[in-house]
Amino acid sequence: MSAAAKSRITSIDLLRGAVMLIMALDHARDFLHLDFFNGNDPLDFATTSTPLFLTRWITHFCAPVFVFLAGASIFFSGVKKTKSELTLFLFMRGLWLIILEVTVIYFGWMFDPTFKLVFLQVIWAIGVSMVVMSCFVFLPRPLILLTGLLIIAGHNALDVFDAAKEEHAGLVWSVLHQQEKFSIAEHHSVIIAYPVLPWIGLMMTGYAFGALFSGAVNEQKRRTTLIILGLSCIALFVALRSGNFYGDAHHWEKQKTDVFTALSFIDCTKYPPSLLYLLMTIGPALLFLAFAQNLKGKLVEAISIIGRVPLFYYILHIYLLHIIAGVLFFATGHTLGEIDFERELPEAPENFGFHLWQVYLIWLFAIALLYFPCKWYNSYKSSHSYWWLSYL
């Protein structure tokens, strides 16, 4: 691989690493913020503040960018593998991610050995999308791109069926398009938090996007294309959102202040990700890639290292933040007796938690700690070729 190619791949690692760091901020808020334990939604204009809203909103970039770049990574893998090898790899890795979601990752979130309430979240969505992609990689890339774009653009037309539902979505419908909770035993339930249809479309689009980083596209053409695509996504978002025309069932409305009205404009639906949500997040991500191709420096390298080991970082950061929350829970005088473990979803008492500025400090401390194991693992992966390393 040429030096230029390595630089281009580094820009993707930098973007992936940046959103992984931002993701940890949202999860630090989940584990530690006072308002979270008081039951307040950071996107609820009746109870939120501008800093709290933006702390939650900025993390909306994480899952879309992560899935989009996962699609690009599939394209890069396809350069080194035959179609049959790529199909088998995607199928097995997709299944592996689904298993991780309901075992190791679930336990990191809940510390619940009984597995009472399992959430199927972003890793599940990526796993299912990879299984689907294992079938599509045999198709021509333009057809994969067209299919992905049609799914992204058209899936919100299905929102009308959500509005017409009587009580519960069926399992298949929930997997594809609508969040739902299902009881699988007397004391065990599953919540499909990430319906997969738009994520599949996004991964397909990311796969086609990977061709922009091939040796056949020079740096200037790639930058120009990224700028055009990024600005087009943002312009289409503004056009569709301005009149609540299409692309998100959650319309923006005039709020009690001009600032909140502006925030309402960018408050789009994540579960599942609406067309406007994806335009709003992928557009700026493409612009970032356009101008990040030649960035260098120690901070760039440190963030890129995180981006090279995303699954390792993802699992590690959940456990670290949960352990930090536990340590602080006891350090501030709380006891296990204050937690009702009989509930399906045990919760800390409402008087536990920290102010937003304190959450930011804890987040910075956590990502500083995470850098060192990620640096070690990145070095280990670079110097070893064991087959199992491609699964973590």
In a structure prediction context, what are the per-residue pLDDT tens digits for the chain, which is 392 residues long? Answer: 333 334 447 899 999 999 999 999 999 999 999 888 777 899 999 999 999 999 999 999 999 999 999 999 999 999 889 999 999 999 999 999 999 999 999 999 999 989 999 999 999 999 999 999 999 999 999 999 999 999 999 999 998 887 555 556 688 999 999 999 998 888 889 999 999 999 999 999 999 999 998 878 898 999 999 999 999 999 999 999 999 999 999 999 999 999 999 999 999 999 999 999 999 999 999 999 999 988 899 999 999 999 999 999 999 999 999 999 999 999 999 998 888 777 767 777 878 999 999 999 999 999 999 999 999 999 999 898 888 888 88
Contact in structure between 58 and 22 (CB atoms under 8 Å): yes
Closest CA to 331 of 362, 374, 302, 303: 362
Contact in structure between 257 and 44 (CB atoms under 8 Å): no
Kindly give, in sequence order, each residue whose CB lies less than 8 Å from that of residue 390, ignoring residues fewer than 6 positions away. 89, 93
Cα–Cα distance, 36 to 350 (Å, whole number): 9
CA dihedral of 23, 24, 30, 35, whole degrees rounded to 10:
-90
Q: Which two tokens stand for residue 155?
A: 């899936």
Model pLDDT, residue 39: 77
Cα–Cα distance, 252 to 241 (Å, whole number): 8
Tokens 């319309």 locate to: 251
Amino acid (one-letter) located at 65 = V
Host H or E run for residue 182:
strand 180-185
**Would you tell me how many other CB atoms lie within 10 Å of the CB of residue 213?**
19
Model pLDDT, residue 145: 98
Rg (CA), the chain: 21
pTM of the model: 0.94
Given strand 117-120, what is the order of strands in its sheet?
Answer: 117-120, 188-192, 180-185
Cα–Cα distance, 13 to 306 (Å, whole number): 8
Cα–Cα distance, 304 to 323 (Å, whole number): 25
Kindly give, in sequence order, each residue whose CB lies less than 8 Å from that of residue 120, ignoring residues fewer than 6 positions away. 101, 102, 190, 191, 192, 193, 194
Tokens 């981006």 locate to: 307
- End-to-end C-alpha distance for the chain, whole angstroms: 23
Closest CA to 61 of 223, 251, 283: 283
**Cis peptide bond prior to 349, omega within 30° of 0:** no
Closest CA to 199 of 113, 273, 112, 261: 273
Cα–Cα distance, 283 to 80 (Å, whole number): 29
Q: What is the largest CA-CA distance in the chain?
A: 63
Amino acid (one-letter) located at 17 = G
Model pLDDT, residue 165: 58
Percent of the chain as helix, strand, coil, to the nearest 5 = 70, 5, 25
How many residues can be counted in the chain? 392
